[in-house]
Amino acid sequence: MSEKPRLMIPAAELRSRVQALAGEIAPTLSTSEQPLFVGVLKGCTLFMSDLVRALHEDVEIDFISISSYGDTREPSGVVKIVKDLETDIEGRDVVIVEDIVDTGLTLNFLRTTMLQRLPRSLRTVTLLDKSARRLVPVPLEFRGFDIPDVFVLGYGMDWQGKLRNLEDLFCVSDLSVLIEDPQAVSPALFGLSE
Protein backbone atom coordinates (compact mmCIF):
# COMPACT_ATOMS: atom_id res chain seq x y z
CA MET A 1 0.00 0.00 0.00
CA SER A 2 1.55 3.29 -1.06
CA GLU A 3 1.85 6.17 1.34
CA LYS A 4 -0.80 8.93 1.38
CA PRO A 5 0.13 12.64 1.29
CA ARG A 6 1.03 13.96 4.74
CA LEU A 7 0.30 17.37 6.24
CA MET A 8 3.61 19.24 6.16
CA ILE A 9 2.87 22.91 6.95
CA PRO A 10 -0.61 23.80 8.21
CA ALA A 11 -2.34 26.94 6.94
CA ALA A 12 -1.82 28.85 10.21
CA GLU A 13 1.94 28.28 10.07
CA LEU A 14 2.05 29.34 6.40
CA ARG A 15 0.15 32.50 7.33
CA SER A 16 2.47 33.50 10.13
CA ARG A 17 5.64 32.80 8.10
CA VAL A 18 4.30 34.85 5.18
CA GLN A 19 3.59 37.74 7.57
CA ALA A 20 7.15 37.50 8.90
CA LEU A 21 8.56 37.39 5.34
CA ALA A 22 6.63 40.56 4.48
CA GLY A 23 8.20 42.10 7.58
CA GLU A 24 11.67 41.16 6.27
CA ILE A 25 11.01 42.48 2.77
CA ALA A 26 9.19 45.75 3.60
CA PRO A 27 12.19 47.65 5.06
CA THR A 28 14.29 46.78 1.98
CA LEU A 29 11.82 48.34 -0.49
CA SER A 30 12.40 51.82 -1.89
CA THR A 31 10.12 54.47 -0.48
CA SER A 32 10.44 56.70 -3.55
CA GLU A 33 9.93 54.17 -6.37
CA GLN A 34 7.01 51.75 -6.55
CA PRO A 35 8.41 48.20 -6.52
CA LEU A 36 7.19 45.58 -8.98
CA PHE A 37 6.39 42.10 -7.69
CA VAL A 38 6.55 39.48 -10.45
CA GLY A 39 4.68 36.26 -9.72
CA VAL A 40 5.68 33.09 -11.53
CA LEU A 41 2.44 31.40 -12.58
CA LYS A 42 0.67 29.37 -11.49
CA GLY A 43 2.27 28.11 -8.30
CA CYS A 44 2.83 31.60 -6.88
CA THR A 45 -0.82 32.65 -6.79
CA LEU A 46 -1.84 31.84 -3.21
CA PHE A 47 1.51 32.86 -1.70
CA MET A 48 1.67 36.06 -3.75
CA SER A 49 -1.80 37.21 -2.77
CA ASP A 50 -1.06 36.66 0.92
CA LEU A 51 2.41 38.26 0.66
CA VAL A 52 1.39 41.50 -1.05
CA ARG A 53 -1.53 41.95 1.34
CA ALA A 54 0.89 41.64 4.24
CA LEU A 55 3.20 44.37 2.89
CA HIS A 56 0.99 47.34 3.74
CA GLU A 57 2.48 49.56 1.04
CA ASP A 58 1.82 50.22 -2.60
CA VAL A 59 3.39 47.62 -4.90
CA GLU A 60 2.67 46.93 -8.55
CA ILE A 61 2.12 43.31 -9.54
CA ASP A 62 2.64 41.44 -12.79
CA PHE A 63 2.90 37.79 -13.78
CA ILE A 64 5.05 35.65 -16.02
CA SER A 65 4.35 32.09 -17.07
CA ILE A 66 7.01 29.70 -18.25
CA SER A 67 7.05 26.09 -19.27
CA SER A 68 9.13 23.97 -16.94
CA TYR A 69 9.52 20.28 -16.35
CA GLY A 70 5.88 20.21 -15.30
CA ASP A 71 4.46 16.81 -14.64
CA THR A 72 7.57 14.83 -13.89
CA ARG A 73 10.16 15.36 -11.21
CA GLU A 74 13.08 15.40 -13.62
CA PRO A 75 14.40 18.80 -14.64
CA SER A 76 14.63 19.24 -18.40
CA GLY A 77 16.55 22.49 -18.24
CA VAL A 78 14.35 23.63 -21.13
CA VAL A 79 12.45 26.70 -20.02
CA LYS A 80 10.56 29.10 -22.24
CA ILE A 81 8.21 32.03 -21.69
CA VAL A 82 4.54 31.11 -22.25
CA LYS A 83 3.14 34.47 -21.02
CA ASP A 84 5.47 37.43 -20.71
CA LEU A 85 5.29 40.46 -18.43
CA GLU A 86 3.11 43.38 -19.46
CA THR A 87 5.38 45.82 -17.62
CA ASP A 88 8.62 47.37 -18.83
CA ILE A 89 11.02 46.57 -15.99
CA GLU A 90 13.90 48.82 -17.09
CA GLY A 91 14.99 50.94 -14.10
CA ARG A 92 12.49 49.23 -11.77
CA ASP A 93 13.02 47.50 -8.44
CA VAL A 94 11.80 44.00 -9.18
CA VAL A 95 11.03 41.18 -6.77
CA ILE A 96 10.41 37.74 -8.29
CA VAL A 97 7.83 35.72 -6.31
CA GLU A 98 8.29 31.94 -6.57
CA ASP A 99 6.43 29.10 -4.90
CA ILE A 100 9.43 26.80 -4.73
CA VAL A 101 13.02 26.74 -5.90
CA ASP A 102 14.11 23.19 -6.59
CA THR A 103 16.96 22.62 -9.08
CA GLY A 104 17.21 26.38 -9.59
CA LEU A 105 16.98 26.03 -13.39
CA THR A 106 13.73 28.00 -13.61
CA LEU A 107 14.90 30.85 -11.41
CA ASN A 108 18.25 30.97 -13.19
CA PHE A 109 16.45 31.33 -16.53
CA LEU A 110 14.11 33.99 -15.13
CA ARG A 111 16.92 36.03 -13.60
CA THR A 112 19.01 35.88 -16.78
CA THR A 113 16.02 36.92 -18.91
CA MET A 114 15.03 39.77 -16.61
CA LEU A 115 18.55 41.10 -16.07
CA GLN A 116 18.81 41.61 -19.85
CA ARG A 117 15.93 44.10 -19.48
CA LEU A 118 18.03 46.25 -17.10
CA PRO A 119 15.98 46.53 -13.90
CA ARG A 120 17.41 48.79 -11.20
CA SER A 121 17.43 45.84 -8.80
CA LEU A 122 16.33 42.21 -9.01
CA ARG A 123 15.67 40.03 -5.97
CA THR A 124 13.72 36.87 -5.31
CA VAL A 125 11.40 35.66 -2.59
CA THR A 126 10.42 32.01 -2.53
CA LEU A 127 8.02 30.36 -0.13
CA LEU A 128 9.92 27.06 -0.23
CA ASP A 129 13.56 26.22 -0.87
CA LYS A 130 14.42 22.61 -1.72
CA SER A 131 18.08 23.51 -1.40
CA ALA A 132 19.31 19.90 -1.35
CA ARG A 133 18.21 19.50 -5.00
CA ARG A 134 19.98 22.57 -6.38
CA LEU A 135 21.78 22.01 -9.70
CA VAL A 136 22.68 25.63 -10.42
CA PRO A 137 23.63 28.11 -7.71
CA VAL A 138 21.24 31.03 -7.85
CA PRO A 139 20.85 34.09 -5.59
CA LEU A 140 17.84 33.86 -3.28
CA GLU A 141 17.29 36.86 -1.03
CA PHE A 142 14.20 35.81 0.92
CA ARG A 143 12.86 32.34 1.72
CA GLY A 144 9.97 31.07 3.79
CA PHE A 145 10.99 27.49 4.59
CA ASP A 146 13.86 25.23 3.67
CA ILE A 147 12.37 21.80 2.95
CA PRO A 148 13.81 18.32 2.29
CA ASP A 149 13.63 16.48 -1.02
CA VAL A 150 9.96 15.51 -1.02
CA PHE A 151 7.20 16.36 -3.47
CA VAL A 152 4.90 19.04 -2.08
CA LEU A 153 1.41 20.13 -3.08
CA GLY A 154 -1.26 22.56 -1.94
CA TYR A 155 -1.09 26.31 -1.19
CA GLY A 156 -0.64 26.94 -4.93
CA MET A 157 1.44 23.91 -5.80
CA ASP A 158 -0.04 21.13 -7.87
CA TRP A 159 0.18 17.59 -9.03
CA GLN A 160 -0.72 17.65 -12.74
CA GLY A 161 -3.03 20.63 -12.24
CA LYS A 162 -4.73 19.10 -9.21
CA LEU A 163 -4.91 20.00 -5.51
CA ARG A 164 -3.53 23.56 -5.91
CA ASN A 165 -6.27 25.13 -3.82
CA LEU A 166 -5.57 23.17 -0.65
CA GLU A 167 -4.99 25.71 2.10
CA ASP A 168 -2.39 23.55 3.84
CA LEU A 169 0.88 22.29 2.37
CA PHE A 170 1.16 18.51 1.97
CA CYS A 171 4.07 16.29 1.01
CA VAL A 172 4.43 12.88 -0.58
CA SER A 173 7.61 10.90 -0.55
CA ASP A 174 6.03 8.32 -2.87
CA LEU A 175 4.29 9.75 -5.92
CA SER A 176 2.70 6.43 -6.87
CA VAL A 177 -0.42 7.10 -4.78
CA LEU A 178 -1.09 10.23 -6.87
CA ILE A 179 -0.25 8.49 -10.12
CA GLU A 180 -2.60 5.61 -9.31
CA ASP A 181 -5.64 7.65 -8.27
CA PRO A 182 -5.33 11.40 -7.53
CA GLN A 183 -9.08 11.72 -6.87
CA ALA A 184 -8.90 9.16 -4.09
CA VAL A 185 -6.79 11.38 -1.85
CA SER A 186 -8.54 14.70 -2.50
CA PRO A 187 -11.60 14.55 -0.17
CA ALA A 188 -9.40 13.54 2.76
CA LEU A 189 -7.03 16.47 2.23
CA PHE A 190 -9.50 19.34 1.90
CA GLY A 191 -10.44 20.63 5.32
CA LEU A 192 -7.99 18.34 7.09
CA SER A 193 -6.70 20.97 9.51
CA GLU A 194 -10.07 22.55 10.29
Catalytic machinery residues:
102
> How far is C-alpha 92 from the chain's CA centre?
21
Measured CA distances, 58 to 31, 34, 52 (Å): 10, 7, 9
Directed axis angle between helix 45-53 and helix 11-25, to 10°? 60
Count the residues of the shown chain that bind Mg ion, applying the rule CB under 5 A: 3
Of the two residues 3 and 57, which places its CB atom closer to ligand IMP in the complex?
3
Nearer to Mg ion, 71 or 88 (CB): 71
Per DSSP, the three-state class of 24 is: helix
103 contact, one of Mg ion, ligand IMP, none, CB 5-8 Å limit per kind: ligand IMP
- Residue of minimal CB distance from Mg ion? 43
Residues 27-56 that bind Mg ion (CB under 5 A): 40, 43
- 152, β-bridge pairs: 171
* Cβ proximity to ligand IMP, 29 vs 143, nearer residue: 143
Say which amino acid occupies 4: K
Q: Which of 93, 99, 102, 158 touches Mg ion (CB under 5 A)?
A: 99
Distance separating alpha carbons of residues 22 and 59, to the nearest angstrom:
12
Site of interaction with Mg ion (CB under 5 A) = 40, 43, 99
